[in-house]
């Protein structure tokens, strides 16, 4: 079967970065698999539609084992021995199973829920500082949406406060790099820092998760290797804040674009859980999966994705599929959102989902309660957006109150 023609995403819509959903919907109407060229020039296969995305997540031929495959250069110009890559998101079973089991011991739902008072305190302190602005204006991302989850995950892992400002730059370089050299630099900086931090935690352990991971040993005597410690900590630090930044920012944008829904939420905070889930479905923080490596030919919808290809499973389109969610482009905080793929699906389902939901609930309620006159002061077309197919969110969000 001949390979399908390559579709240039940026040519399908000049507004793709700001609003990719119409493009995905048009592709979905033609079938579940499309060979595309991204804005960064990468040739990929996109999987769209709710059923196809769930099937791809459950198919072991869609692999994350880039490091052991020797094909890591397909997605990043990195040395396969780079310790920041030695984590569960870069592994398939049985390695993934082993690594996730060791981390789950420290990342329990009970521990996450116990963080609620501290998350509320951090939220209140950040809002105090933001609302003290004499001109009653701020960038919500810089002032609130970024520092909240960054502070939480750094405290959870035991990263000193003075070091946290570096991580925004380094993290951005790894998940949304302008070029390959910048991505290499981001990974190198994170790795070098974590070597020193882990050494300090070995000498003087605390009650934080990183100290726990260093000393965690399972019933069979297994523990994380030095490289795995670096990789796992890097993963938790980056993933532990990037998604929540966009959950908060996208949530504020969605609510203010739908004033009747916002008014309903303000009138009844019992709708808060549903509002967070609808934000995750309607305009979630993760647009597509991390890159998958095809271990064999896979046929979907009459298209064969060849062995060795790179694929992206598009959460954003799965969550806007009318076959699963009636009137999917309507924002409705009372909707039944069960089955959305905002946190992925299957064995790589986001381990931090309970924490992200908790942070989102606390952040949005506190912000809306304390800022009844909050409004976004820039048109969406004026905003700068996170590049690439992985993360979905505005880099800045000017607001006034």
* pLDDT tens per residue across span 349-372: 999 999 999 999 999 999 999 999
Residue among 279, 329, 293 at smallest CA distance from 24? 329
Lowest mean pLDDT among 124-128, 295-299, 317-321, 386-390: 386-390
Residue 242 has what pLDDT? Answer: 82
Is pLDDT of 74 > 70?
no
Residue 80 has what pLDDT? Answer: 67
Residue with tokens 């949530």: 251
Tally Cβ neighbours within 10 Å of residue 227. 16
Percentage of the chain with pLDDT > 70? 95
Confidence of residue 78 (pLDDT cuts 50, 70, 90): low
Residue 363 has what pLDDT? Answer: 98
Is pLDDT of 1 > 60?
no
Is pLDDT of 168 > 90?
no
Residue 300 has what pLDDT? Answer: 95
Is pLDDT of 67 > 60?
yes
- Average pLDDT of the chain, as a whole number: 90
Cα 387 to Cα 70, 210, 214: the distances in Å are 26, 30, 35
The torsion angles phi and psi of 340, rounded to 5 degrees, stand at: -65, 155
Residue 142 near residue 130 (C-beta atoms within 8 A): no
Distance CA(9)–CA(32), nearest Å, equals: 16
List Cβ neighbours of 206 (8 Å cut-off, separation of 6 or more).
Answer: 158
Distance CA(9)–CA(278), nearest Å, equals: 26
Residue 321 has what pLDDT? Answer: 98
160 pairs with which residues across the strands? none
Residue among 221, 217, 169, 225 at smallest CA distance from 193? 169
Distance CA(361)–CA(241), nearest Å, equals: 15
Comparing 14 with 375, the larger pLDDT belongs to 375
Confidence of residue 398 (pLDDT cuts 50, 70, 90): very high
Q: Angle, nearest 10°, between helix axes 147-157 and 226-257?
A: 150
Residue 58 has what pLDDT? Answer: 96
Comparing 50 with 381, the larger pLDDT belongs to 50
Sort strands 33-37 and 7-8 into parallel, antiparallel or unpaired.
parallel
Tally Cβ neighbours within 10 Å of residue 162. 7
Is pLDDT of 73 > 70?
no
Residue among 200, 188, 170, 194 at smallest CA distance from 81? 188
Q: Which structure tokens are listed for 138? A: 């701020």
Mean pLDDT of 41-47: 90
Most confident residue range from 99-108, 166-175, 180-189, 276-285: 276-285
List Cβ neighbours of 279 (8 Å cut-off, separation of 6 or more).
Answer: 247, 250, 251, 254, 255, 360
Distance CA(122)–CA(120), nearest Å, equals: 6
Confidence of residue 188 (pLDDT cuts 50, 70, 90): confident
Mean pLDDT of 40-54: 93
Length of the chain counted residue by residue: 401
Task: Compute the radius of gyration of the chain from its Cα atoms.
Answer: 21
Q: Which fold has domain 7-400?
A: Cytochrome p450 (1.10.630)
Tally Cβ neighbours within 10 Å of residue 133. 12
Instruction: Delimit the domains of the chain by residue range.
Output: 7-400
Residue 11 has what pLDDT? Answer: 83
Comparing 326 with 172, the larger pLDDT belongs to 326
């Amino acid at each position: 079967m001949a390979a399908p023609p390559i579709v240039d995403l940026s040519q399908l819509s000049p507004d793709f970065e700001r609003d990719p959903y119409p493009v995905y919907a048009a592709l979905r109407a033609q079938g579940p698999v499309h060979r595309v060229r991204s804005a960064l020039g990468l040739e990929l296969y996109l999987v769209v539609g709710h059923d196809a995305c769930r099937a791809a997540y459950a198919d072991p031929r869609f692999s994350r084992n880039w490091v052991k495959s020797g094909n890591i250069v397909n997605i990043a110009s990195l040395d396969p021995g780079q310790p920041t890559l030695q984590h569960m998101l870069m592994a398939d079973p049985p390695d993934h199973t082993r690594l996730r089991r060791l981390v789950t011991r420290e990342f329990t739902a009970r521990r996450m829920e116990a963080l609620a008072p501290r998350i509320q305190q951090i939220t209140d302190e950040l809002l105090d500082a933001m609302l003290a602005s004499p001109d009653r204006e701020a960038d919500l991302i810089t002032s609130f949406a970024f520092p909240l989850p960054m502070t939480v995950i750094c405290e959870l892992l035991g990263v000193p406060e003075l070091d946290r400002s570096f991580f925004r730059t380094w993290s951005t370089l790894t998940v949304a790099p302008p070029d390959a050299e910048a991505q290499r630099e981001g990974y190198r900086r994170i790795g070098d820092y974590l070597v020193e931090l882990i050494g300090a935690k070995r000498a003087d352990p605390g009650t934080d998760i990183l100290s726990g991971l260093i000393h965690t040993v399972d019933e069979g005597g297994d523990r994380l290797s030095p490289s795995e410690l670096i990789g796992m900590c890097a993963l938790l630090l980056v993933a532990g804040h990037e998604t929540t930044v966009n959950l908060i920012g996208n949530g504020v944008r969605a609510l203010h674009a739908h004033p009747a829904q916002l008014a309903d939420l303000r009138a009844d905070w019992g709708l808060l859980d549903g509002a967070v889930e609808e934000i995750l479905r309607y305009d979630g923080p993760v647009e597509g999966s991390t890159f998958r490596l095809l271990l064999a030919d896979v046929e979907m919808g009459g298209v064969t994705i060849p062995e060795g290809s790179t694929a992206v499973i598009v959460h954003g389109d799965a969550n806007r599929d009318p076959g699963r969610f009636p009137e999917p482009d309507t924002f409705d905080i009372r909707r039944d959102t069960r089955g959305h793929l905002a946190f992925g699906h299957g064995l790589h389902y986001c381990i931090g989902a309970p924490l992200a939901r908790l942070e989102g609930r606390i952040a949005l309620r506190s912000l809306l309660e304390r800022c009844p006159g909050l409004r976004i002061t820039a048109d969406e077309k004026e905003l700068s957006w996170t590049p690439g197919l992985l993360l979905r969110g505005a880099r800045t969000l000017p607001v006034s109150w």
